[in-house]
Chains A and B, each alone.
Chain A
């Protein structure tokens, strides 16, 4: 079945450490997105990519980085510059922005 796979499901980060969240899709979607979800807040866009080798910053890109070397993959790195990284991270894809998103199952990142 087609879908989006995020890994790991749970991730723990030490202070000053960079961590990378994986996102892979086999839906042949061109557009991919990373969102952050915090309690009591709507989903906030971190980065998005409309095509391979191209991506744009969203509303809260500071402290994060991405790459899009393959259509299927859109990994997110949470760097040590992100001061409050504890959150639920969601990856999504779509054919284009007029369509609904397909979301992955999420990665919960905790700073220890």
Chain B
């Protein structure tokens, strides 16, 4: 069964304390892996798409990487405004749906 698992469930960081969020997947035929940011009570906001192992994408303090089994979202010198839930999703060959993970709740303390 196709599955996406995110860890940790929750993470508290001090401002400036860099860390990484993990998204591991077991799917047959990965087409793409997506990262989203979701603020409380709002819809997810698209961050990155990764298509193949070795690919990396960056945006401000965020960097996403992809291997054949997992993806990491690295957060460098985070600020309180980076606090949110980060969602990972994958699409597989032959399907029009995403498989979402349950997310990592990030809290950055000033």
From A40, A44, A90, A98, contact of B91 by CB (8 A): A98
Is B43 within 8 A of A103, CB to CB? yes
From B4, B34, B43, B97, contact of A58 by CB (8 A): B97
- Knowing A103-B43, A106-B43 are in contact, say whether A98-B102 is a contact too (CB < 8 A): no
From A40, A45, A48, contact of B102 by CB (8 A): A40
Is B103 within 8 A of A90, CB to CB? no
Name the A residues within 8 Å of B101 (CB-CB). 42
Residue A79, interface by CB 8 Å: no
Is A98 within 8 A of B32, CB to CB? yes
Name the A residues within 8 Å of B41 (CB-CB). 106, 108
Residue B71, interface by CB 8 Å: no
Interface string of A37-66 (1 = CB under 8 A from B): 000111111001010000010110000000
Chain B residues with a Cβ under 8 A of chain A: 4, 31-32, 34, 36, 41-46, 48-49, 87, 89, 91, 95-103
Chain A residues with a Cβ under 8 A of chain B: 4, 6, 31, 33, 40-45, 48, 50, 56, 58-59, 90, 92, 97-106, 108
A-B contact pairs, 19 of them (CB 8 A): A33-B97, A41-B102, A42-B100, A42-B103, A43-B100, A48-B96, A56-B96, A58-B97, A90-B43, A97-B91, A97-B95, A97-B96, A99-B49, A100-B36, A101-B34, A101-B36, A101-B98, A105-B43, A106-B41
